[in-house]
A and B are shown apart, each in its own frame.
Chain A
Amino acid sequence: DAGVIQSPRHEVTEMGQEVTLRCKPISGHNSLFWYRQTMMRGLELLIYFNNNVPIDDSGMPEDRFSAKMPNASFSTLKIQPSEPRDSAVYFCASSAGLQQTEAFFGQGTRLTVV
């Protein structure tokens, strides 16, 4: 398996623009997580899905952020409109959904909003 695949790896956009980050989880995994990593706040859980259903989105910063998982092999995280404070590395991770199993991380998307 190729692991968790995120695209793009880098994104530079202007303030006010819409940004869409994409994630393909490992085949057979039924839990998917979106994290944001910054120097100031560390690694924050934004939202996680189980069997394509959002279970906990309490970490989503505000209404400008939205996430979807239309099927078991694809998820998106959208920011609209983007702001400079959204600049961070966004990670997607997936797991088999059993509590004792670890999450596998993608390489991340480095987002810069100017």
Chain B
Amino acid sequence: AQSVTQLGSHVSVSEGALVLLRCNYSSSVPPYLFWYVQYPNQGLQLLLKYTSAATLVKGINGFEAEFKKSETSFHLTKPSAHMSDAAEYFCAVRPYNTDKLIFGTGTRLQVFP
């Protein structure tokens, strides 16, 4: 079964530091990939998505992610963390031949002043 793995359930950074949240997928055919953010007591909101066009995808709030087929990765980055970025981040995969959207276990990002 196709899935995503998020390395690190918790990541802590200082305000202004680089944010790197890791996501690896398992699929023999490159799937569609998504990053979502969840703020406390809210639903999930799309940050960005990869749909086989450009491998470097830019999203909202200054986030971007790069699709690397050779590494089966889709890591999320932001050059400079903001306090408001503190939230839980989910990587998700939609396998090539299905409408299912399968989520990773999530990474909680903490930002310290």
Contact = CB atoms under 8 A, between A and B. Distances in A.
Contacts of B96: 99
A91 B103 CA distance: 13
A43 B32 contact: no
B46 A42 contact: no
Contacts of B94: 99
Contact of A105 (B44, B49, B105): B44
Interface string B26-49: 000000101010000011111001
Contacts of A31: 99
A25 interface: no
Interface string B12-27: 0000000000000000
Contact of B32 (A56, A97, A100): A100
Nearest to B106: A42
Nearest to A102: B46
B74 interface: no
**10 closest residue pairs by CB, A with B:** A105-B43, A100-B51, A43-B103, A105-B44, A42-B105, A102-B46, A107-B43, A31-B99, A103-B101, A108-B43
5 contacts: A33-B101, A43-B44, A45-B102, A99-B99, A100-B49
Interface of B: 32, 34, 36, 42-46, 49, 51-52, 90, 94, 96, 98-106
Interface of A: 4, 31, 33, 35, 42-43, 45, 48, 50, 55-56, 91, 93, 95, 97, 99-100, 102-108
Given A35-B103, A55-B99, A105-B36, 19 more contacts: A33-B101, A42-B105, A42-B106, A43-B90, A45-B100, A45-B101, A45-B103, A56-B100, A91-B43, A91-B44, A93-B101, A97-B99, A99-B96, A99-B99, A100-B49, A100-B51, A103-B101, A105-B43, A107-B43
